[in-house]
Structure formats: C-alpha cells, structure tokens
C-alpha cells in the first residue's frame, strides 16, 4: 500500500513538473514584495526522511478563509498529516482577504509554534495567483457570510464572484493534478462556478462538501440503534448543502442489516431524524453563538482522506457535477453517493428510489436549479453549452442527429 502511494506520489510529481510554473517560484522570497502577503521561509522542497519512513514528494495545499473559524480547526489536522498521510510533506498556501491578513499572521505563528515536521513552508497571501501557484489540493473554505438584510440572491451572487475569480486563478497557476473541495456556502453552486471558470481542469475534479451532513446522520443512527459509529454505513445525503438536503437511510446498513429494519420507526426517521439533520447547522449556531467549525473541519478531513487514500467499500456523499442520472439536470453540483477507490470517485448508480425519496430529492434539485439560474451570468457560455446541451439535445433529438453524422 505504502509503495503504491509512493509510485502515485512520484507520478504526480512527474505530471506537475511538466507544468510551466515551478515550485521554487512559490517559495522564493525575492518574488514577493510586502503587498499584502508574506511568506514564511521554507525548509526547502525536497523529499525528506522522517522517523525511518520514506516521505513522498512535497505537495502544495491551499486553504482559503485561512483566518476563519473552520480553518482554525482544520489547519493543524492537515499539517499533522491526518488528511493526506503521515508521510506526505506539504507546503501550506493560506489565502485571506486583505482585512484578515493580520489575523492570518497570528495563525501562521501558531502553526510555526506547533513545529509540524510535515510542513515544509507556508505561503500566506491575499493574492490568488500567488496563493494558488502549484497547488494540487485547494480547499475553498472562505466565503462571505450573509449579512443582515441581505437576500439569498445577493449572497449567491457576491460569493459567486469570489468563486469565479478563484476558478480563473486556479486555471492559470494550479498544478496539473489539482483537486478542489468547496466548503464555503452556497457550496454546491460555488463549486459549479469555480469549475466553470477553470476550463483547464475536468469538472469532476471539483467537489462540494456534504460530508458533515452525512456524519450528522451517521451519528444519529448510531445513537438511536445503540451501536458504534463505524457499524453504520451507506447513509446518503442527496442534493444541496442547505435545508433542502435529503439525508436518506433507505439503503443504509447497521452491522450489515437494513438500518430501517433495525430502527423500525418510520415516524422517527421522517419526523425527527430528517428535519434534525437538515436544521443541525442552525441548532449549533443557536447553542454556540457561532456556526459549526470543529465538526466542519472534521468533515473536510474525513472526505479528503477517503477521497485521497480510498474508502474501501464505504459510501461517501459529496457534491459533484450531475451526469444526468437520478433525474438530476446534467451539470448541477448535486450531492450523491460515491465510492472512493483512491484519488478519484465512482458514482453509485441504479439505486431504487422510492416515491418519498424522489419528492425530497426533487425539492433540492429545484433549489439548485434556482441557484444556478441566479448566477448564470458567471458561467462562461462554452461551459454552459458543454454541460447543458447534451440533455436538451437528447430531448429534441438533435443529439441523435449529431451522433449519426
Ligand atoms: P468565518 O467567517 O469564520 O471565516 C471565513 C473566512 O473566509 C474569513 O476569515 C474571511 O475573511 C474569509 N474570506 C472571505 N472571503 C474570502 C475570499 N474571497 N478569499 C479568501 N478568504 C475569504 O467562517 P467559517 O465558519 O470558517 O465558515 C466558512 C464557510 O463554510 C462559510 O461559508 C460557511 O457557511 C461554510 N460552511 C459550510 C459547510 C458545509 O458543510 N459545506 C458547513 C460549515 C460551514 O457552515
């Protein structure tokens, strides 16, 4: 397993070496003036030997919103190797808005003071092109929160602008093997916008987070059934990371048995569990006076670790571009169940969908269509055409004609 990871790591380095931007550009202090960004001198980008084990080639990992509360819980875990592995040295690229740079400086100091052996350097900046240069993993956590009196539509469009700009910058300067995980809300539509503005990369490389919702559902089931959390599997979160999401346990298993049979309480499932998961974020805000942070960071680590290293036969839910299955419009970033063999995902297809599930999934689909329509001006036409005409053509028959040419 470990040698396979090494081969993958070396292959990744080979792929990225053919990228025009070289690693030393990121780390050379001479390239940076004091215009709102600072660089912590690195200990050099090379393969280190750590505690008797061979380390993999260094990977560049970006986190936006790096001075925010989720990042505060997330960064130490990444730096400690919990996400990408204990043999994976990293350079952390921390991005923030100019107003938050001094706070970010404090975060950097703390990371230094942790003396994480895997951290080979830290780039801290408000400049997207410097921040995303050479990154292989971009965790897009930063986003504007909804302010008082702000319409959902305004929130969508101001965040969409941010993600459009981030997509363009990633397109220009990120490493060839880039993977993007969007956490900042509205996460699904932000992932769409970002992918649409980064045409160099396959849209499948852009994912949005619903793992926190999956974890919440798993915990509730384990508690109800009185079993251990790893004994619960195949929980699905369909749709948007919003209150229209549908936590579905139709296919879930508890100790290998049908979760529904084990729970044997449809009323609890529909009237307690589903609404509770849907409203859990609001419940945390009410109790804590701040939104979920440690649990959100844990969900980022869980998803990216499973995606990166593989999750065996466990199912994971994640927002990915719909391929038109399950009646979801092609190109909507909709959360579905996937399997992670390591470094990519495979959709779980052909699951039977009951009437109740179909109606829940449809509500979330409609909301995502509305979100997409509100930001359509930020989706470059070519991307829109590529993602949406396939379905339209299939309906009108134009696709058939084109295929027969
Ligand atoms: P915070 O407000 O604590 O931090 C956000 C940080 O992002 C701030 O420091 C801000 O300066 C920064 N920021 C804003 N615009 C930026 C930009 N253009 N570039 C770089 N940084 C930027 O929020 P936090 O609690 O950390 O939450 C971050 C995001 O995660 C929010 O959008 C939140 O709604 C979302 N969440 C998503 C979840 C999911 O499951 N997908 C769950 C948790 C969380 O609610």
User: Residue 63 forms beta bridges with which residues?
Assistant: 94, 139
- The candidate with the shortest Cα–Cα distance to 319, out of 178, 134, 166, 194, is 194
Average confidence (pLDDT) over 265-293: 95
User: How far apart are the CA of 185 and the centre of ligand 1, in A?
Assistant: 7
- The candidate with the shortest Cα–Cα distance to 65, out of 229, 184, 228, is 184
- Contact residues of ligand 1, CB 6 A cut-off: 64-65, 67-71, 95-97, 100, 141-145, 162, 183-185, 187, 209, 212, 241, 281, 291-293, 296
- Residue numbers annotated as active site: 241
**CA distances for 324 relative to 182, 356, 365, 392, angstroms:** 21, 20, 12, 11
Q: Which domain holds residue 305?
A: 211-403
SS3 62: strand
Q: What is the pLDDT of residue 106?
A: 98
Q: Are residues 345 and 358 in the same domain?
A: yes
Q: Are residues 265 and 294 in the same domain?
A: yes
User: How far apart are the CA of 231 and the centre of ligand 1, in A?
Assistant: 32
Q: Are 90 and 120 in contact (CB under 8 A)?
A: yes
Q: Are residues 183 and 238 in the same domain?
A: no
- Sign, CA dihedral 87-41-162-177, equals negative
Distance from C-alpha of 401 to C-alpha of 388, rounded to nearest angstrom = 17
Q: What is the pLDDT of residue 117?
A: 96
Backbone φ and ψ for 198, nearest 5 degrees, come out as: -130, 65
Distance from C-alpha of 163 to C-alpha of 143, rounded to nearest angstrom = 9
Q: Which atom of ligand 1 is nearest to the CA of 208?
A: 41
Average confidence (pLDDT) over 280-305: 95
For 169, the token pair is: 């910058």
- Identify the residue whose C-alpha is closest to ligand 1 atom 30: 184
User: How far apart are the CA of 396 and the centre of ligand 1, in A?
Assistant: 42
Q: Which atom of ligand 1 is nearest to the CA of 281?
A: 45
Band of residue 154 on the pLDDT scale cut at 50, 70, 90: confident
Q: What is the pLDDT of residue 153?
A: 73
pTM of the full structure: 0.88
Is residue 301 pLDDT above 80, yes or no?
A: yes
Q: Are 303 and 181 in contact (CB under 8 A)?
A: yes
Give tens-digit pLDDT for 243-258: 999 999 999 999 999 9
Q: Are residues 123 and 261 in the same domain?
A: no
Quote the mean pLDDT of the chain: 86
Q: What is the pLDDT of residue 147?
A: 66
- The candidate with the shortest Cα–Cα distance to 73, out of 391, 299, 271, is 299
Count Cβ atoms below 10 Å from residue 227 Cβ, excluding itself: 15
Tokens 């070519």 — which residue?
A: 382
Q: Are residues 181 and 310 in the same domain?
A: no
Give tens-digit pLDDT for 313-327: 999 999 999 999 999
Scored b (16 or more CB within 10 A) or e, 85-120 reads bebbbbbbbbbbeeebbeebeebbeebeeeebbbbb
Q: Are 74 and 84 in contact (CB under 8 A)?
A: no
Domain limit, last residue, from 176, 208, 240? 208
Do strands 253-254 and 232-233 pair parallel, antiparallel, or not at all (unpaired)? Answer: antiparallel
Q: Are residues 175 and 217 in the same domain?
A: no
Q: Are residues 186 and 303 in the same domain?
A: no
Average confidence (pLDDT) over 36-61: 59
Q: What is the CATH number of the domain that holds 232?
A: 3.90.110.10
Band of residue 36 on the pLDDT scale cut at 50, 70, 90: very low
Report the run of H or E that residue 92 belongs to, with start and end. Answer: strand 90-95
Least confident of 14-18, 27-31, 76-80, 163-167: 27-31
Q: What is the CATH number of the domain that holds 169?
A: 3.40.50.720
Is residue 25 pLDDT above 50, yes or no?
A: no
Q: Are 355 and 134 in contact (CB under 8 A)?
A: no
Q: Are residues 166 and 248 in the same domain?
A: no
- Identify the residue whose C-alpha is closest to ligand 1 atom 18: 162
Q: What is the pLDDT of residue 13?
A: 65
Band of residue 195 on the pLDDT scale cut at 50, 70, 90: very high
Q: What is the pLDDT of residue 26?
A: 35
Q: What is the pLDDT of residue 292?
A: 93
How far the first Cα of the chain sits from its last, in Å, is 47
Q: What is the pLDDT of residue 213?
A: 98
User: How far apart are the CA of 297 and the centre of ligand 1, in A?
Assistant: 11
Q: Are residues 122 and 224 in the same domain?
A: no
Is residue 18 pLDDT above 80, yes or no?
A: no
Domain limit, last residue, from 160, 185, 208? 208
- The candidate with the shortest Cα–Cα distance to 173, out of 123, 206, 136, 124, is 136
Q: What is the pLDDT of residue 10?
A: 67
Q: How many alpha carbons fall within 13 Å on the CB side of residue 302?
A: 20
* Residue 216 buriedness (CB in 10 A; 0-12 / 13-18 / 19+): buried
Q: Are 130 and 102 in contact (CB under 8 A)?
A: no
| Higher per-residue pLDDT: 403 or 109 | 109
Specify the number of domains making up the chain: 2
Q: What is the pLDDT of residue 158?
A: 82
Q: Are residues 261 and 380 in the same domain?
A: yes
Least confident of 38-52, 134-148, 251-265, 304-318: 38-52
Domain limit, last residue, from 175, 208, 241? 208
Q: Are residues 192 and 307 in the same domain?
A: no
Q: Indicate the DSSP class of residue 239.
A: B
Is residue 369 pLDDT above 80, yes or no?
A: yes
Residue 249's contacts (CB-CB under 8 Å, 6 or more residues apart) are 217, 221, 235, 236, 259, 260, 263, 269, 273
Q: Are residues 326 and 397 in the same domain?
A: yes
């Amino acid at each position: 397993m470990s040698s396979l990871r090494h081969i993958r790591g070396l292959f990744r380095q080979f792929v990225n070496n053919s990228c025009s931007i070289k690693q030393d550009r990121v780390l050379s202090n001479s390239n940076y003036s004091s215009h709102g960004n600072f660089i912590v001198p690195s200990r050099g980008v090379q393969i280190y030997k750590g505690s008797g084990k061979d380390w993999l080639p260094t990977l560049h990992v970006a986190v936006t919103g790096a001075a925010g509360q989720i990042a505060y819980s997330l960064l130490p875990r990444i730096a400690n190797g919990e996400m990408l592995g204990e043999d994976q040295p990293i350079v952390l690229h921390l991005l923030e808005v100019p107003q938050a740079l001094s706070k970010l400086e404090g975060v950097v100091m703390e990371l230094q003071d942790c003396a994480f052996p895997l951290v080979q350097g830290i780039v801290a900046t408000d400049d997207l092109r410097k921040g995303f240069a050479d990154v292989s993993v971009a965790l897009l956590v930063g986003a504007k929160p909804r302010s008082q009196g702000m319409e959902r539509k305004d929130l969508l469009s101001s965040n969409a602008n941010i993600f459009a700009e981030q997509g363009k910058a990633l397109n220009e300067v990120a490493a060839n093997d880039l993977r993007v995980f969007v956490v900042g809300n509205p996460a699904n539509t932000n992932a769409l916008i970002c992918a649409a503005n980064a045409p160099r990369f396959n849209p499948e490389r852009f994912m949005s987070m619903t793992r926190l919702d999956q974890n919440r559902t798993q915990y509730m089931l384990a508690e109800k059934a009185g079993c251990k959390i790893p004994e619960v599997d195949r929980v699905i979160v369909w749709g948007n990371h919003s209150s229209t999401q549908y936590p579905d346990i139709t296919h879930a298993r508890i100790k290998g048995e049908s979760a529904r049979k084990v729970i044997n309480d449809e009323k609890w499932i529909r009237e307690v569990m589903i609404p509770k998961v849907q409203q859990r974020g609001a419940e945390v805000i009410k109790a804590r006076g701040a939104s979920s942070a440690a649990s959100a960071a844990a969900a980022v680590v869980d998803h990216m670790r499973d995606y990166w290293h593989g999750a065996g036969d466990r199912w994971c839910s994640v927002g990915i571009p719909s391929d038109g299955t399950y009646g979801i419009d092609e190109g909507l970033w909709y959360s579905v169940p996937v399997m992670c063999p390591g470094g990519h995902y495979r959709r779980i297809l052909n699951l039977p969908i009951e009437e109740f599930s179909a109606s829940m999934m449809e509500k979330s689909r409609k909301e995502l269509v509305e979100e997409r329509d509100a930001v359509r001006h930020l989706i470059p036409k070519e991307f829109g055409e590529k993602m949406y005409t396939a379905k339209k053509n299939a309906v009108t028959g134009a696709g058939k004609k084109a295929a027969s040419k």
